[in-house]
């Protein structure tokens, strides 16, 4: 029994060390290389009238030559004044253009993005959302990586951090998911990307036949496009240096949060099998440690597992949270880590058995 417990702890430590080692160079982009490639930013906006002003301000303030990039904003059949607001705010901006899916008869985010991409004039595409806030050197960071020959790139997409419980839970979940996804990408196993900080070459998008092979589920235009790139053995990289982050707000209520996570989890059912196996093993291992106190009725030594896991989790979070623009205290890490693991089970059950609601 002692050997089994020590072996379990050793496996968890070794895996976490691998994850931490793979993230050592994160945020340390090559400062000496400068590339300036032409980039098209494509954004689908649906009922985002309240976010338009701030979005346009952030895009206008990007530290990149205006003649080197364009912004294509696609109104996705909004029922508010999104389209007119976009027109009003960009009328004097020469590198901004506004499209509408109503004119083309398209519907849904994939179709809106496809419309924007098909009307783009530059060889590289960046995707984000209308409620997001990119940092000033976002384009410069991607330009460097595109200049190195990558077909597809994804970056860090943190949430703004506040004090409410739903915000703290969402931010912690984003941090743990980011640590895992960037670690796996660093060792050659990319499996997920946030659509609010996502890029690819126009030729890559065309060779993958656009979003035509990503319609397994209504969500996942980002993850499933990445899946197709992995299938086609394309060059996939990460953008993680300071100034490349794209921020957004968390959901304000737990109901909205659970609905969002059910949609995201449903997408994971369509990952490649090798990714599902790796992720399944990782999450089951962590859940076994979380629920290990239940086994103390058979042997008190099982009580060692949960404290050991939490000590490892504290170390991982403390050493990586600043890289992803977060700040959690030790006490927060302890209770949020337990909540995070339990919520993984709830999200899985919701995605599998509950009715998933869409916008």
* Domain assignments of the chain as residue spans, ordered by start: 39-161+190-249
Q: What is the mean pLDDT of each run of 10 residues along the chain (359 residues)?
A: 69 74 65 77 95 95 96 93 93 94 80 95 97 96 94 97 96 96 92 94 96 85 94 95 95 94 92 94 90 88 88 92 96 96 95 73
Query: Is 201:232 a contact under the CB 8 Å cutoff?
Result: no
Closest residue by Cα to residue 210 from 193, 229, 195: 229
354 half-sphere exposure, CB direction, 13 A CA radius? 17
| Adjacent-strand bridge partners of 238 | 154
89's tokens: 């705010």
Q: What is the CA radius of gyration of the chain?
A: 21
> In this predicted structure, what is the pLDDT of residue 271?
96
C-alpha dihedral, 306 to 310 to 312 to 313, nearest 10°: 130
The backbone torsions φ and ψ at residue 129, rounded to the nearest 5 degrees and listed phi first, read -110, 160
289's tokens: 């440690």
CATH annotation of 39-161+190-249: 3.90.550.10
| Adjacent-strand bridge partners of 152 | 200, 236
> In this predicted structure, what is the pLDDT of residue 4?
64
């Amino acid at each position: 029994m002692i050997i089994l417990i020590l072996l379990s702890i050793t496996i968890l430590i070794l895996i976490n060390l691998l994850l931490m080692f793979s993230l050592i160079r994160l945020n340390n982009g090559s400062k000496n290389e400068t590339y300036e490639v032409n980039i098209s930013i494509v954004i689908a906006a649906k009922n985002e009238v309240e976010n338009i002003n701030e979005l346009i301000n952030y895009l206008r303030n990007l530290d990149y030559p205006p003649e080197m990039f364009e912004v294509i904003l696609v109104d996705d059949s909004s029922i508010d004044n999104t389209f007119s607001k976009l027109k009003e705010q960009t009328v004097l901006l020469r590198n901004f253009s506004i499209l509408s899916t109503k004119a083309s008869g398209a519907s849904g985010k994939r179709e809106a993005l496809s419309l924007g991409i098909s009307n783009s004039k530059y060889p590289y595409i960046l995707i984000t959302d209308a409620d997001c806030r990119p940092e000033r050197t976002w384009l410069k960071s991607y330009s460097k990586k595109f200049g190195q020959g990558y077909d597809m790139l994804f970056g860090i997409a943190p949430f703004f951090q506040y004090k409410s419980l739903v915000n703290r839970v969402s931010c912690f979940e984003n941090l743990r998911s980011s640590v895992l996804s960037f670690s796996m990408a660093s060792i050659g196993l990319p499996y997920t990307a946030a659509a609010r900080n996502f890029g690819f070459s126009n030729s890559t998008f065309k060779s993958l036949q656009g979003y035509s092979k990503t319609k397994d589920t209504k969500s996942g235009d980002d993850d499933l496009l990445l899946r197709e790139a992995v299938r086609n053995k394309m060059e996939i990289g990460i953008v993680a240096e300071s100034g490349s982050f794209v921020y957004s707000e968390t959901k304000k209520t737990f109901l909205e949060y659970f609905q969002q996570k059910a949609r995201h989890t449903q997408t994971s059912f369509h990952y490649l099998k090798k990714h599902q196996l790796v992720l399944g093993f990782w999450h089951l291992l962590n859940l076994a440690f979380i629920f290990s106190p239940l086994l103390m009725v058979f042997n008190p030594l099982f009580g060692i597992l949960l404290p050991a896991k939490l000590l490892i989790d504290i170390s991982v979070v403390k050493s990586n949270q600043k890289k992803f623009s977060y700040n959690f205290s030790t006490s927060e890490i302890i209770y949020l880590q337990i909540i995070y693991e339990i919520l993984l089970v709830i999200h899985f059950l919701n995605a599998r058995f509950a009715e998933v609601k869409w916008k």
